[in-house]
Structure 1
């Protein structure tokens, strides 16, 4: 059994996270329940910050809030000295409501609406990451209307394919994101942006994928991006002051996953930037990165209550929990793998092979295939590890299931940071037209 962060098995044989017995958390907050190990979140953030301080490079570490965006997480990111990457008006609003400094917010997205851009301009965010020509001209016009000159990075696709799932590989040429480096589009975009009076081009952004376990892809991306920066300097007499290398740093989900220490990723990026720039006599830029999953992923655990079971002799045994693809769609989307334990009987002998099904009316609602557990009983608590990233963030109300609560645990205390949805939340935005009101139907 591999336990992350402050997780341990206590004297009662119960899983404990952040000094809190999860059986007590289930009684107080119900299940399904997202549990976040706050100490581990802060540890991961500090690992990135310290790794960059060691390199001596000017830097920004921006938490990629798409992984998990709630106001409490924005507060933690700010306290740890991070910047913040947002990709929608909802994420931006969350950050602003949490009091996150607008000048440390970067706005991403391949289809920012005029309303979103205006909202970000009014907030005075620190930087827009521009994804296409339409946005380039729209942002310039909207900024000009407000008498502002805004900082921009242009997102480029460097032609580097990370060794990851096709749906989360983003740096290759055939991608919905960014300006292509290989066919000259990126050069044209930079040339255009430099000529727009309401935009200040700081540099470029690239992101090669997610859940990456090696450094070679990052090295290649740095070399291509830095070489492009040199080309822009030499041909357009414009010097980039920022290179943003995105995120994608992998975490351990299951046995066999072998992520590198944070310092190894950061040092590889720093060495590649330093070497490439020094060889080209290019002033060292400020380096930005955007870790998301690697900050929050392994700090999250989802706690479920086991309900029914179905044993098919000679085939498999299913156990069903009170959540599923509504709180964790990743297995259905990406065939993602997870590890889990019976949180209330963690020391019992593993003598049963089961598959964990969700409660949704969907045959694909499976959380884990072939998991070894003690003989499972209705009412047992199942804890699924490493669910901090893209679980709550991607949760839905399919089958009108209410989204779970979220608690931060630290030093023996549990703080509710997102309340469990109520039935009123489920129907709160529904409107019955007058013609469908009961009195209308009865006529």
Structure 2
């Protein structure tokens, strides 16, 4: 079993994270419990920034907060010198409550509401990533209301399909995101944006997908967009100051995943941009990246308590835990695969094979199929690795289950950063049916 970051097996034979015994964490904070290795997050953020310095180019690294958004994580990435991107009013509000500098925030989304845009304008965020013609016109009208000039980037669909799950491919032509490059939509968007006086068109954004393990798709996307940038310089006397390549850098979930070091992605992207600008006589832009999963994904571990077990003779042994699709929808949504260990018995022989079931009332609520484990007992603590991205952020109250707590661990200390929901939290917005209301 491969461990991540500060994880190790301590003298008690327990999984330890950030110098803290995971079994003690489960006893102190309860389960299910999201645990984040703060040192690993810090090191991952530093590695992105260091890669740009090593290449000798100006870059901006912004944490894609949709991967995991909370006040504490946003304060942490700010400490490490990152910006952030948000995709909703709720994520923006969280950033402001965290005290995040608004000039280091940029706003994504394919259907920003007028209320969300006004909110972002009032907070004076750094940049809007414009996704469609509707938004291009709407944002400018709202800028006119406030006599405000704003920075924008035009999101492009470059027509590149990365090899990943079809639900998380975003750069192909048939996508809800961005202006299509091949049909001329992207050029028309640029033409209109340049004509609108309250826009400073910083440049272009594209995001080709998620959980990508090589650099080929990034290099192809850069090459493709530069074929158009050379033409647009001639037609509109315009060169982008910023080229934003999004994120999508893969992490290791299982032994079958082989992600590249952060530096390899940055080297490939910067190298391809340098090659294109030199061949075409263009200016070198500032390069932006938006890592999310690759900052927090493998820094997260979810702890569960083992409950009931069921033997289907000659077929399968089911082991149920006290969470499931309510705190990790990815196996049901993407058929995502995970690895795990029994945190209180890490060193014991893993001579049994079981399937880990969630407690939600759905046959599809299965977290891991065919996991090697010791002979499990009710009350054992199961630690599922690489749950730091899209676990908490996609968690739900399905079956009226309260969402888990979140704990940060670092240097032998544990800090509660998101409280566990209570049953009272579940009903606090409910209203009683005291009388029928005429509509």
Q: TM-score range by the shorter chain?
A: over 0.9
User: Equivalences for 1:243-254 in 2 at 5 Å?
Assistant: 243-254=243-254
Cα separation, 1, equivalents of 2:112 and 2:230? 29
Following TM superposition, by how much is the alpha carbon of 1:144 offset from its aligned partner in structure 2, in angstroms?
1.1
C-alpha RMSD of the superposition: 0.9
Structure 2 equivalent of residue 400 of structure 1: 400
Structure 1 equivalent of residue 207 of structure 2: 207
Aligned partner of residue 353 in structure 1, secondary structure: strand
Structure 2 equivalent of residue 372 of structure 1: 372
User: Equivalences for 1:14-413 in 2 at 5 Å?
Assistant: 14-413=14-413
Aligned partner of residue 376 in structure 2, secondary structure: coil
Aligned partner of residue 28 in structure 2, secondary structure: helix
Structure 2, unmatched stretches of 5+, are: none
Write the deviation string for residues 110-132 of structure 1: whole angstroms up to 9, x where unpaired: 00000000000000000000000
Structure 2 equivalent of residue 13 of structure 1: 13
Write the deviation string for residues 25-52 of structure 1: whole angstroms up to 9, x where unpaired: 0111000000000000001000101001
Following TM superposition, by how much is the alpha carbon of 1:228 offset from its aligned partner in structure 2, in angstroms?
2.3
Cα separation, 2, equivalents of 1:90 and 1:227? 37
Aligned partner of residue 35 in structure 1, secondary structure: strand
Write the deviation string for residues 155-196 of structure 1: whole angstroms up to 9, x where unpaired: 000000000000001100000000000010100010001101
Cα separation, 2, equivalents of 1:42 and 1:249? 17
Aligned partner of residue 106 in structure 1, secondary structure: strand
Report the count of equivalent residues.
437
Structure 2 equivalent of residue 440 of structure 1: none
Following TM superposition, by how much is the alpha carbon of 1:53 offset from its aligned partner in structure 2, in angstroms?
1.0
Cα separation, 1, equivalents of 2:306 and 2:283? 58
Write the deviation string for residues 257-313 of structure 1: whole angstroms up to 9, x where unpaired: 100011000000000011101111101000001000000000000000000000011
Aligned partner of residue 341 in structure 1, secondary structure: strand
Following TM superposition, by how much is the alpha carbon of 1:234 offset from its aligned partner in structure 2, in angstroms?
1.1
Aligned partner of residue 226 in structure 2, secondary structure: helix
Structure 1 runs, 4 residues or longer, greater than 4 Å off: none
Following TM superposition, by how much is the alpha carbon of 1:436 offset from its aligned partner in structure 2, in angstroms?
6.8
Cα separation, 2, equivalents of 1:105 and 1:232? 28
Larger deviation, residues 156-165 vs 428-437? 428-437
Structure 2 equivalent of residue 441 of structure 1: none
Following TM superposition, by how much is the alpha carbon of 1:248 offset from its aligned partner in structure 2, in angstroms?
0.4
Cα separation, 2, equivalents of 1:181 and 1:255? 37
